[in-house]
Amino acid sequence: MRPLRNGGGGRQQGNGNFGSIFDDVFGDIFSGGGGRGGRSGAQRGSDLKYILELTLEDAVRGTNPKIKIPTLVECMECLGSGAKKGTAPISCVQCGGMGQVTARQGFFSIQQACPRCRGTGKMISDPCGKCRGQGRVEEQKTLSVKVPGGVDTGNRIRLTGQGEAGANGGPAGDLYVEIHVRDHQIFTREEEHLYCEVPISFVDAALGGELEVPTLDGKVNLKIPKETQTGKLFRLRGKGVDVSKIRGGGIGDLYCRVTVETPVKLSKRQKELLQEFAGESDAKQSPKQTGWFDNVKRFVDTLTD
């Protein structure tokens, strides 16, 4: 898991720019949480972003991890007012509690935020000792995140109201949990499909055989037909990723790409057998190689004409 990163201004980022594929999955935790509070000068808190790293297995099957995030929360000593317990903010003497003042420029008058109270309309004569008049304090929160099966890198889950607390009693921002799936030692993923490379011996490729290949559900047997060439793809239906919980799709497939391995550290007898085999081979047994050399010969002939 990576540390929390501030997502910027809450009002700007909380109005649809974070479109989520999970809106229909988690119901009210994805409902909008923005807007300005009812109090004068109240401001919505900033949205936050958290990078959640998952294994491929957890991303495919779903998980419910707990995350810890540092954030600003409402001060419980003063209940967000910023004033010492037992006292209350007073109306600003400059704007009379309106939060705005009028500035005249010739024939025009312009309303702007009061510079003394910064638009809140309130002044704190005796600030809270815990938050020093800010109304918010730093705190580390532990949250449980429900991650549905099928997520992939770049997908985001929105937790409404779990961002920074708003200033002057405003509503809290949202927390966006962004998924990052770690690289896997065997599989690579493309949307709902999985891919892996399966090395096979020269003998199995030529004569055919059967071997076990891994899937996320366990091992399965894969039949290798005779005369299999390197790079051939074998499709295992339904052994990919189930994405039905996040975007209404189905279950993908697993594609196994075979790679024919050239034997190494041959014994003397093995070398002799291969030389005997090469001596008895003809062009029909290597059609691609024969075709390639024919194309090369024609190409060279055009250069010398």
pLDDT in tens, 171-201: 889 999 999 999 999 999 999 999 999 999 8
Measure the CA–CA gap between 245 and 241, rounded to whole angstroms.
Answer: 11
Q: Domains along the chain?
A: 5-79+134-181 (2.60.260.20), 188-276 (2.60.260.20)
13 pLDDT tier (thresholds 50, 70, 90): very low
Predicted local confidence at residue 242, as pLDDT: 92
* Tens digits of residue pLDDT in 62-99: 999 999 988 878 888 787 778 888 788 888 878 877 87
Measure the CA–CA gap between 23 and 14, rounded to whole angstroms.
Answer: 14
**pLDDT > 60? residue 5:** no
Measure the CA–CA gap between 58 and 154, rounded to whole angstroms.
Answer: 15
Cβ-contact 58, 105 below 8 angstroms = no
CA distances from 270 to 204, 205, 208, 286 (A): 16, 17, 20, 21
Measure the CA–CA gap between 204 and 54, rounded to whole angstroms.
Answer: 37
**pLDDT > 50? residue 26:** no
Cβ-contact 262, 232 below 8 angstroms = no
Global pTM? 0.65
Distant-in-sequence, close-in-space partners of 234: CB < 8 Å, separation ≥ 6? 198, 222, 255, 256, 257, 258
Measure the CA–CA gap between 83 and 133, rounded to whole angstroms.
Answer: 6
Is 118 exposed, middle or buried (CB count within 10 Å of its CB: 0-12, 13-18, 19+)?
middle
Q: Which two tokens stand for residue 231?
A: 């790079």
